[in-house]
Structure 1
Amino acid sequence: MALKTLGRPKDLEKREAILDAAQSLFAERGIDGVAIEAIAARSGVSKVTVYGHFGDKATIFESIVERETERLKQALCSAPTGGCGLEELLTRFGLALVSMLTQPCHLALDRAVSLEAQRNPDLGRRFFEAGPGQVRRLLSDILLRAQAEGLVAFDDPARAAEDLLALWLGFDAMERRFCGGCTPDETALKSHVGRSVKLFLRAYAPT
Structure 2
Amino acid sequence: MQKSSVASVEAPNANETNEETTRKGRGDRRELILDVASEVFLKEGYAAASMSEIAARLGGSKGTLYNYFKSKEELFGAYVLRNCEMHRSQVGELLKVDGDARTVLTAYARRYLEIFTSEKTLQNWRVISAESAKSPEIGRAFYESGPLQGVKLLAGFLDKAVGRGELKIGDTVQAAHQLISLIHGRMIKARLLNYIPVPSAEEIEVEVQSAIFVFLSAYGV
In the other structure, the counterpart of 2:121 is: 106
Q: Is the 8 A contact 2:94 2:104 kept in 1?
A: no
Instruction: Summarize the Cα distance change of 1:111–1:201 in structure 2 as closer, same or farther, 3 Å threshold.
Output: same
Question: Where in structure 2 are the equivalents of 1:106-125 lying within 5 Å?
Answer: 106-125=121-140
* 1:193 pairs with one of 184, 208, 212: 208
Greater RCO (CA < 8 Å, at least 6 residues apart): 1
Q: Is the 8 A contact 2:95 2:108 kept in 1?
A: no
Q: TM-score w.r.t. structure 2 length? A: 0.78
Q: What is the alpha-carbon distance in structure 1 between the residues aligned to residue 45 and residue 141 of structure 2? A: 16
Q: Is the 8 A contact 2:128 2:139 kept in 1?
A: yes
Equivalenced residues, count: 200
Give percent identity, aligned residues only: 28
Q: CA deviation at 1:196?
A: 1.0
Instruction: Summarize the Cα distance change of 1:94–1:52 in structure 2 as closer, same or farther, 3 Å threshold.
Output: farther
- Tell me the alpha carbon deviations over residues 127-179 of structure 1, each in whole angstroms, 9 at most, x when there is no partner: 11111111111111111111111211222221111101101113211111123
In the other structure, the counterpart of 1:203 is: 218
Q: What is the alpha-carbon distance in structure 2 between the residues aligned to residue 181 and residue 19 of structure 1? A: 30
SS of 2:198's partner is coil
* 2:149 pairs with one of 123, 134, 142: 134
Q: What is the alpha-carbon distance in structure 2 between the residues aligned to residue 87 and residue 19 of structure 1? A: 37
Question: Where in structure 2 are the equivalents of 1:147-166 lying within 5 Å?
Answer: 147-166=162-181
Q: What is the alpha-carbon distance in structure 2 between the residues aligned to residue 155 and residue 140 of structure 1? A: 11
Higher Rg of the two aligned structures? 2
In the other structure, the counterpart of 1:13 is: 28
* 1:177 pairs with one of 192, 195, 201: 192
* 1:26 pairs with one of 29, 41, 55: 41
Could you tell me which runs of 5 or more consecutive residues in structure 1 were left unpaired when the two chains were aligned: none
In the other structure, the counterpart of 2:12 is: none
Could you tell me which runs of 5 or more consecutive residues in structure 2 were left unpaired when the two chains were aligned: 1-17
Letter in 2 for 1:85: D
RMSD between superposed Cα atoms in Å: 2.6
Letter in 2 for 1:202: S
Q: What is the alpha-carbon distance in structure 2 between the residues aligned to residue 78 and residue 153 of structure 1? A: 21
Q: Is the 8 A contact 1:24 1:105 kept in 2?
A: no
